Each structure stands twice: as structure tokens, then as C-alpha cells.
Amino acid sequence: MPLVRKPSSQAPAAAPLALGEGTSEQRWSAVRAAADRPDGLALLADALSRESDPRVREAIFTGLARLATPESAALVVPYLRSDDANLRTGAVDALRAMPQACRPHLPTLLADGDADVRLLSCELARGLPDEEANRLLCDLLERETERNVCAAAIEVLAEIGRPEAVPSLVRCGTRFAGDPFMIFSLKVATERIAAPARDRR
């Protein structure tokens, strides 16, 4: 048998350094350790405001998601309006990973003045309990004028929608009556809501 077992000579990783110092490898290690510290939130907040390496930033978002408090979610929320698509995506993924912490922020986010923020927030609503998500998304559909935001809300409702959501979907349809894509999306959503749960997926 030629396979050989060898004892590992690998040394454990070095202790993390301060978050703002060193190479990206060292900063990565430092931010990964930060969530376990009592002052982790402040450390991660500071690191997020300064960090430019995408990989380290991803670890900061994970650390904030691990903390999963409304305060850690509040630190991530501003990045939903970043001009950097990677940062926006990172922020959405981090918030999606802490649905309970994200919950208190959603009504405000779904009413944000920035349509892109409202659109991304529709996706976050998917992580709420169905009843709450339905209520928030139906409220949005009743007032929303941006087609893409409505389309995002309809997509989520197609998956988690309850019969109570149908009137809001129908009223939304009247506003986009000349738009074939929206008509199709609304048809799919209402049909799926009407279907027995076992047939939905």
C-alpha cells in the first residue's frame, strides 16, 4: 500500500493582530476573531468603514451576521446604497443571514427614497415570517411606482404569498396593465398563491 500516513507538521494560525494593521491575511484573521470579543461590534464597525479588500470585507460582514443584533444590522444597512455593486451584494447577503436582526429595519428600508434600496429590501423580506412579509410587501405594492421594485416584491410573494396578498397584486396589475412582463409575473404569483402548498415549488 503506497499511501503513507504522515503526522501533520502544520502549525496553528498565528494570533490575530489589530484590525487596521498588517497584510490582508492578517486583517482577515483579525476580523474573523473580532466577533467573539466583547467589543466586537465596535471593532467590526471601524474595520468595515476602512477596509477595501473584498475578502476581508466579506469576513467583516460574516462577523456582523454572527453577532446578529439590530445594532450589527444597522451597521450593514447603509451599504445597501453603496455605489459599489459588490458591497451592495455583500450587505444584502449579510442581512439575509441575520433575518431577526434585520427585521426592525425593514419597514423603513421598504419605504426608502432610493428605489434600489427598496428593491434589495424586498429580497430581505423573504426571511421574515410569512404573515409579516406579506403585510410589508402588500403595503409596498399599494404605493410603489417603480416597476422593478414591484417586480421584486411580486417575485417574493410568488413564493411566500398568502391569499390575503391577492387583492394588492390585482391592484398593482391595474397600474401596469400595458406591461407584458408585469402581467405575466402577476399571473404567475396569483396562480401560485391559489395552488395547494404541495404544488407550489
Partner 1 sequence: MNEVDPVSQEELRAICEFLYRRTGMLFGEAKRYYVQRRISDRMNALGIAPFRTYFAYLRSDADGEVEKFVNAFTVNETYFYREDHQLRCLSSDLLAERVRAKRRGEALRIWSVPCATGEEPYSIAIWLLENWPEVDVQDIEIIGSDIDTQCTAAAAEGEYGARALMRLSPQLVEKYFVPAGKDRWRVVPELRQSVQFSSANITKASETRQHGLFDVIFCRNVLIYFDDASRRVAAENLFEALAPGGFICLGHTESMSRISPLFEVRRFPDAIVYQRPLIGGNGAGGKGGHSNG
By CB under 8 A, name the binding residues for partner 1: 1-6, 8-13, 24, 28, 32-33, 53-59, 61-62, 65-66, 68, 85-86, 88-90, 92-93, 96-98, 119-120, 123, 147-148, 151-152, 155, 181
The secondary structure of residue 39, as a DSSP letter, is T
**In the bound complex, what is the minimum distance in angstroms from residue 42's beta carbon to partner 1?**
20
The secondary structure of residue 31, as a DSSP letter, is H
Q: Which is nearer to partner 1, 148 or 194 (CB)?
A: 148
**In the bound complex, what is the minimum distance in angstroms from residue 78's beta carbon to partner 1?**
17
Residues 6 or more apart in contact with residue 135 via CB below 8 angstroms: none
Closest by alpha carbon to 48, among 72, 66, 67? 72
Closest by alpha carbon to 31, among 58, 71, 69? 58
Largest CA distance in the chain: 73
Q: Which is nearer to partner 1, 130 or 194 (CB)?
A: 130
The secondary structure of residue 103, as a DSSP letter, is G
**In the bound complex, what is the minimum distance in angstroms from residue 15's beta carbon to partner 1?**
11
**In the bound complex, what is the minimum distance in angstroms from residue 62's beta carbon to partner 1?**
4
Q: Is-contact 158 189, C-beta < 8 A?
A: yes
**In the bound complex, what is the minimum distance in angstroms from residue 127's beta carbon to partner 1?**
8
How far apart are the C-alpha atoms of 95 and 14, rounded to whole Å?
Answer: 30
Q: Which is nearer to partner 1, 119 or 141 (CB)?
A: 119
Q: Which is nearer to partner 1, 88 or 192 (CB)?
A: 88
Q: Which is nearer to partner 1, 3 or 177 (CB)?
A: 3
